[in-house]
Homo-oligomer: A and B are copies of this chain.
């Protein structure tokens, strides 16, 4: 069984039931999520031996987060304990022309205030095939850029493939800080995942003729973005997600994988959205699974896009689908007929 380590923050996610606004809510649904935790959970559903690394406080809420990871088969034995709080975020689900809102209350979390000697990377990466993190992790706190770099160095030493989803968050750091840190880390990447905004926000690399606020995008221009990332950082593979937002309820979704100067583009799905949060992470997990299993380019991107398409039909962040379900959709069966 292939072994994957992901590293980042897991938070408690709270959301009003259904389509209630925050102002209307009298209860919240609880789940637990975070970019790298979402990837680990999705990989565990695919049968991968996925381990999630973070730092958590020693209280009951953190215990709930760990329990939830264990429930879905993630190895939580490398989690480090200490610090003061579990990050929390709040989701108000949008519909039609009303956008979803995400509020973060993650400052001062245990992972954000972690120090380099909290993690014994040499032991964590023993026997590991793949290491994944996102651009959120180095943005969490002052020590995180160097912690991430130490993780990358150790991963390389143990022969693990390294993937990173750029995932720029302007609430966490400035574009300048992001560019400095991520440009240094990008030298370690074997697979770089992005959407067009990320490439522009983090590296100043942009596609032409794209106006995201109109929800439109030009697929061809992404090939150019991918090539630039590849050329600047020497990263062999670049994957880009392609989302067209018709409304908060209906999105079109596809993706592209660039390798060896070739771009593989998946079919586009029109999705009735149940929960859009975690969509990007489920793409990352799908891609990692495909590449871990040596899928060739077209099959790999088809798997990653079908996997993340299914995520949009599932409540909360975790993409609780099996390989068989993804293969069924990637194979062309999108009819949604009842399975008895």
B-binding residues in A (CB < 8 A):
14, 17-30, 59-61, 63-64, 67-68, 70-73, 84-86, 88, 90, 92, 94-105, 107-108, 169, 171, 212-215, 245-250, 269-274, 276-277, 306, 309-310, 312-316, 320-321, 325, 329, 332-340
Contact = CB atoms under 8 A, between A and B. Distances in A.
Contact of A247 (B63, B169, B272, B332): B272
A63 B92 CA distance: 14
Contacts of A337: 99, 212-213, 215, 245, 248
14 contacts: A18-B315, A19-B313, A60-B101, A70-B70, A94-B336, A95-B274, A99-B335, A99-B337, A101-B339, A104-B340, A215-B335, A247-B334, A248-B313, A276-B338
A14 B16 CA distance: 12
B72 A67 contact: yes
A71 to B, nearest CB: 3
Contacts of A108: 107-108
A102 B310 contact: no
B71 A68 contact: yes
Contact of A335 (B107, B246, B332): B246
Contacts of A28: 14, 27-28, 30
Given A64-B23, A67-B72, A274-B19, A314 B90 contact: no
Contacts of A105: 85-86, 88
Given A95-B272, A271-B97, A214 B339 contact: no
Contacts of A321: 98
A214 B329 CA distance: 11
Contact of A103 (B60, B309, B312): B60
B312 A102 contact: no
A103 B30 CA distance: 16
Given A94-B338, A245-B335, 16 more contacts: A22-B60, A27-B28, A60-B101, A70-B70, A85-B107, A86-B105, A95-B274, A95-B313, A99-B337, A100-B336, A101-B339, A104-B340, A246-B335, A246-B336, A248-B337, A250-B272
